[in-house]
Chains A and B, each alone.
Chain A
Amino acid sequence: MSGPHSTIAEAPLQRARGAAAPVLPRLLAGVHTEGALTLADHLSVHGQLPPLRGGRRRRGREHAAALIDEIERSGLLGHGGAAFPTATKMRAVASGRGRAIVVANGAEGEPASLKDRTLLEMAPHLVLDGAVLAAEAVDADEVIVCACETADASVHSLEQAIEERAVEPRAGRSPKLHLRTVPGHYVAGQESALVNYLGGGPAMPTFTPPLPFEQGLRRRPTLVDNVETLAHVALIARHGAPWFRQLGTPSQPGSALVTLSGPVADPGVYEIEHGASLASLIDAAGGTTTGVRGALLGGYAGAWVSREWLGGVALSKEHLAAHGATLGAGVVLLLSDQACPVAETARVARWMAGQSVRQCGPCLNGLDSLAGTLEQLAFNGAEASVTRRIERLASLTARRGACGHPDGAVNLILSALEAFHGDFAEHARHGACDRCARPPELPLPDREVSDQASRDRVSGRGSSRGGASRDRATRGGAT
């Protein structure tokens, strides 16, 4: 994606006190292109946070339990990609041993996703409200808001917002608010990697169990929630679960931010309700500018849907499951019909292989072999049984690492084989097609140098631990 992100048509500042219209925009309400909503604007649009019920410890616990109940009634699911029930996670952290910590995850390492940094840049106070509420819910004394180190505008907005709040402290609600920037590589936003990094280690996943909710940062129960999820919490606390459920589907209520990119008039971050059709989203973005070959839903760990299905696709868990896809972190990537899906898939596969932090043999070897096979297939042709070879490699790669990175890449690759099987068969027979030479459409940050430096820094290249893994990488690997 090039150029600045944009949001939906500006909504005038709403003087909402209590009642809020059940329509969109919700998260993006009042947002404008001149910068972040100040604290005053934010309160003007959304109203005050509901009063804290009592400040004493016991009353505080009632309040916390009531809040979690409300979130459970709302059916809020996480917006970081896993769609895990938020209330369940909060309950688990609240009942953990030790004082909890809240981590607001705005790392957003997915190249095609801009929603988190946009939300942080434009509506930081909504996220901060949600984080503070989450801290109350799980009885945490500390909140750490994480933004990508390259998202300067978001970092700046957050700094301002935190300063504004420091000037106007609220009685009874002051967990310590910290802002941390995190590296931008793909896996840095993974829950255990983020906790690892915040604890002073490298931004690489750790072996679980124990999961962060039981033992995370400084061995304390840690609630790691996507920044968008926390923004929804801030709205649910104000307007209630029934209000939240007025949009969306029964199993996936509420609204969501999606990043739409590809051949549309106005690519950018949009707020939809769950279950909205892909067609309506494309309409809101001004329609397509060329023909569309397919859509990648969920980002680079997601799945391809080929053009013949796109008309009927609705953006919610249950609708997309039929296509083997999820909304993931709200990423919708359209591929024009001038691109070669085989070449694009091969490039993404190679990029994903490069994003492995190389801790686990099956991931670093498997993704490398898969990328190599796809590259060969895309550009040089391959034997007829190459599909079987890819499937075999996929089964050796998925679910054998410490995190979901290899699983995501495998998901993407296998879905491409299915969605574009004609193209793949053609390439196997004849090698590169004339569309292969076109410039790549899918955004793969040309951050090779900075990525490498980032990963060198985080994986401690040169240490005997990392070194040993790399030994094996070169020795192993049949394609």
Chain B
Amino acid sequence: MTPRVLPYLLSAPALLLFVGVVLIPIAMTVVLSFNDWSMTRGIIPEFTLKNWQEVFGDAYFYGIFFRTLRLALIVTLITAVFGAPEAYVLNRMRRPWKGLFLLIVLAPLLISVVARTLGWALLFGGQTGLINKSLLALGVIATPIPFMFTETGVIIALSHVLIPFMVLAVWTALQQLDPQVENAARSLGAAPALALYRVVLPQVMPGLLSGAIIVFALAASAFATPAIIGGRRLKVASTLAYDEFLNTLNWPLGGTVATLLLIALVAIIVGANRLIERRYAQVFQ
């Protein structure tokens, strides 16, 4: 066996699987998006731009895409604003508290997203809506806040589901930071807030931004949480594709929604990665 073919041989089994189960099916979905469909005849294998015209031309469809984008951006912002400080606080804790609380923050990542979202459905609505009950009892609000089937509810639940990724990303960046640098800033007379803003924040920025990309990507493609909290009334791109495929049975249109989601997401992630790498080139070297 010559060393030149060895790496190809070693990766061949996985490569075959990925060509067969990822590349070909996705290519077929792209082709599907250019097929016609009718209620009576099902999928009609003729080339048409009908689905794409519908997705871009109908306010119902592009409205759902804008909502998906908006929700993902807000969730990214919320996880950054609340997750980054938590990572900083965790990092300054002593053992064993540091390890214990890090475990508590990260553990939900491994718990079924359906179970976590069910928790929010219980906190939001019906006889168990603890949030509204408490706020009403405290006199903070006069009428219950609608959480179920609203963007507010989806944003809160999605932020909860995704915030561990942000804490993890910032935490990893903080591990590479020399605590003496912050102490040096303090000893030179910088107020704690100033040292945080001018010394710590710039150094964890690459971690924060890569966390933001991960959270954004996962929020934009989230399915179970918007499906349970948003319901049929508040659709996002993923739940729209689901409905077209399994309820309306218009696969070509569903395939178009999926293809557009994939293209938009890959373009945004690759673009954002480029920007970050250019801006923080010195950090990556």
Q: Do A and B come from one complex?
A: no
Residues on A lying within 8 angstroms of B by beta carbon are none
Residues on B lying within 8 angstroms of A by beta carbon are none
